Amino acid sequence: MSEEIPVIPKVTSLTVHSGNIVNWNRLKRHPNHGATAEIAECIDSALKTYLDSADKTALQYETSLECKSTKFMEALPADERGDLKVTVKVFLCKLLPPSTLKEGIEKVLTELNITFIETVILALPELEEDEEVSLSVIQPYWEALEEMVEGERVLSLGIADLSKEQLEELYNWAKIKPGINQVNLESCCVMPKDLTEYAKQNDIQLLSHNDARDILPNEKLSEIIKTNTTEKDSDFWEMLWVMRYSVLIKCRGIIKTKAYITKCGRDTRRRK
């Protein structure tokens, strides 16, 4: 008898918790996998595990799924918290309501069973070809993050991929100044001199990264969902946001935990 294929015709929201991928043996075999491949594998694995054990009849009526790799979920021991530093990089895959940031960050806090995060770094999506990430685009998200700092849920803020002019605009406007600007060295092999000088003058760390701006293309997401369900159920999905968090053992400089929480959405009205 053939295995019943899960169908999810009403699902419009999919959240995936990878758990600590430092302990994923299959990812250990590919140490330079890259964020896009890691996220794809996390969604594929967690969704497959969830669907394999789900009631196939009940699935047909679900509107949202939250898939957790429980085997790899790890809260931080309270007695070790002082020795650990938690950093979250928020990838917005499209321009969403600022409350989205709080939703994702709160999920990280809950998952790790902690009350605050040392650093949150904001990565905004790539806009249309003729558009740049202006201060007016950044402001509502930065204000939401500032509220989390004021509420002592986050201690410091950073941002990714700003030029010297963009960073200066944000710095001059912001109530809570950016302490980090991540620069993608694939787009510039050497840090721009004006950016380096400005960052030095204002005590801003310049860090390099190699994360794709489109961290997981929607086509790849649909392909993953199609593999685990049906072609019809893979239509009209899009990535909404990704939270990548890491836990560093301060005195040893060792990554104790690395994990992803991702959220995807689907507009089923487009089927009509």
pLDDT in tens, 150-180: 999 999 999 999 999 999 999 999 999 999 9
| Domain contains 172 | yes
Note down the domain range covering 96.
13-267
* Nearest-angstrom CA–CA distance, 54 and 189: 48
Question: How many structural domains are present in the chain?
Answer: 1
* Nearest-angstrom CA–CA distance, 222 and 265: 11
| Domain contains 40 | yes
Report residue 56 as tokens. Answer: 């196939």
| Domain contains 7 | no
Sheet strand arrangement including 13-17: 64-68, 13-17, 254-266, 237-249, 84-92, 117-123, 154-160, 180-184, 205-209
Token pair 């650990």 is found at: 84
| Domain contains 3 | no
| H helix or E strand, kind and range, residue 194 | helix 193-201
Q: Report angle CA 95, 98, 103 to the nearest 5 degrees.
A: 110
| Domain contains 47 | yes
Is the confidence at residue 234, as pLDDT, over 70?
A: yes
From 160, 161, 162, 157, select the one nearest 145 (Cα to Cα). Answer: 157
Question: Chain-centre distance of CA 67, in angstroms?
Answer: 15
| H helix or E strand, kind and range, residue 100 | helix 99-112
| Domain contains 272 | no
Per-residue pLDDT tens over the stretch 81-119: 999 999 999 999 999 999 999 999 999 999 999 999 999
* Nearest-angstrom CA–CA distance, 147 and 120: 13
Q: Mean of the pLDDT values across residues 3-16?
A: 91
For residue 128, name the pLDDT band (cuts at 50, 70, 90). confident
| Domain contains 4 | no
Its pTM stands at 0.93
| Domain contains 8 | no
